Amino acid sequence: MTKGERSLLLYLETRAVDHAGKVDCQHMNGEDFKIAEQWNERGFLFFRRRKACLFVDAVGTAQALTHVVKLSDAAWETVALLRCGKAERTTVAEKEAANR
């Protein structure tokens, strides 16, 4: 998995968990859409367009919630590994900084 794919999967996981699967597509580029559509075709995740909906959050930030995502079991497993790896790297970096 490329760095871009890892980043996209972690973004989509955040949207699935914290935003009921509604994806703010302002944070995605053309390559992200291609990857998400390929994953959708493979069954790695469910990614579909929904009725366009412009939502303004509590701080006045507009979100273009035009797509929805749902992760497969395989995607959840991959996310878990990515999060564990990130936590490990963060812990190691903090230990190294403390020893300086």
Alpha carbon distance 21, 47 (integer Å): 9
Residue 81 above 70 pLDDT? yes
pLDDT at 72: 98
For the domain made up of 3-98, give the CATH fold: Arc Repressor Mutant, subunit A (1.10.10)
22-78 pLDDT per residue, tens: 998 889 999 999 999 999 999 999 999 987 666 666 677 777 788 999 999 999 999
* Domain locations along the chain: 3-98
pTM of the model: 0.81
Label residue 89 by pLDDT band (50, 70, 90): confident
pLDDT of residue 96: 78
Task: Give me 84's structure tokens.
Answer: 């564990």
